[in-house]
Structure 1
Amino acid sequence: MQRPFSAGTQTVPPGGFVRLHAHAESEEVLHFIRGKGKAVVEGRDYPIEPGMTVFLGPQQSHTLINDGTEDLHWAWFFLPSGLETFFKAIGRQRSPGDDAPDAFERPENVSAIEASTGFSPVTPKRLG
């Protein structure tokens, strides 16, 4: 690859979601491993289940919703890299095998963190 990319995994519990957002200049690929839910991309609903892959281009608004009964788990690939910087800045340190941290508030400077890691402001069209 000509540019650096980042990769990781993410898990959202039943009833949880990744809030509506977009990335200014980045491309994102999500590959779903476990659970069921829906992706809302540019206001349109797409069911997601294990084995499905979603490509998100720059400026495409999206949210991921776990409306299933088990954890929704996926692998993500982000080009160019940078998403890992966002998670480091807002999250809690974990090692493989650690329990998920208790719920916590986003930092007060989350907008500045988002701006510095390639997120774009989004006006919701429809959340599904």
Structure 2
Amino acid sequence: MIVRTLEEIEGTRREIFAENNNWVSKRFILAEDNMGFSFNETIIYANTETLIWYKNHLEAVYCVEGEGEIETTEDSIVYPIKPGTLYALDKHDRHYLRAYGKDVRLLCVFNPPLVGDEDHDEEGAYVKSGK
């Protein structure tokens, strides 16, 4: 059985801060845990915009705090995000993620699972940071 607390993750290699300072990801379950998915709590900092394009992953996201929006780049459709909203990037949808007013707290599941130190590249895809 795997049991982890937020306190155990903070300040370790499982807490990843974006190079652009837009978010922090606290990675509870990683590929090394052999669960077939990864699970993160991600905080998107207030008044930021992040381009995301998970070409190599599928992701489901559930908002538990804060408000913002996602905007798809292909068709410019805007979807509001607030507590109780789930969105799934089932087609590797390229999008902007924006947080308004205060931080947005998201619970995220990735398939295939994250290794642990991924950050977004210039296209918005996750790549291993090499740190």
Band of TM-score, shorter chain: 0.5 to 0.7
CA distance in 1, matches of 2:115, 2:94: 16
State the 1:22 CA deviation.
Answer: 1.2
Matched, 1:64 2:64: no
Matched, 1:80 2:80: no
Matched, 1:47 2:80: yes
Give the TM-score normalised by structure 2.
0.59
The alignment of Structure 1 onto Structure 2 pairs a total of residues equal to 91
Q: 4+ residue runs of structure 1 moved beyond 3 angstroms? A: 114-117
Residue 81 of structure 1 aligns to a residue whose secondary structure is: coil
1:37·1:65 contact (CA, 8 Å) conserved in 2? yes
Matched, 1:33 2:33: no
CA 1:29–1:21: 2 relative to 1, 3 Å:
same
CA distance in 2, matches of 1:115, 1:74: 17
CA distance in 1, matches of 2:107, 2:91: 19
Higher strand residue share: 2
Residue 20 of structure 1 aligns to a residue whose secondary structure is: strand
CA 1:13–1:25: 2 relative to 1, 3 Å:
closer
Residue 36 of structure 2 aligns to a residue whose secondary structure is: coil
Residue 71 of structure 2 aligns to a residue whose secondary structure is: strand
For structure 2, the residue ranges without an aligned partner over 5 or more in a row are 1-34
1:6·1:84 contact (CA, 8 Å) conserved in 2? no
Higher helix residue share: 1
Q: 2:54 is matched with which residue?
A: 23
2:60·2:110 contact (CA, 8 Å) conserved in 1? yes
Mapping of residues 91-102 of structure 1, within 5 Å: none
Give the alignment partner of residue 13 of structure 1, picking from 38, 45, 61: 45
State the 1:116 CA deviation.
Answer: 4.4
Residue 46 of structure 1 aligns to a residue whose secondary structure is: strand
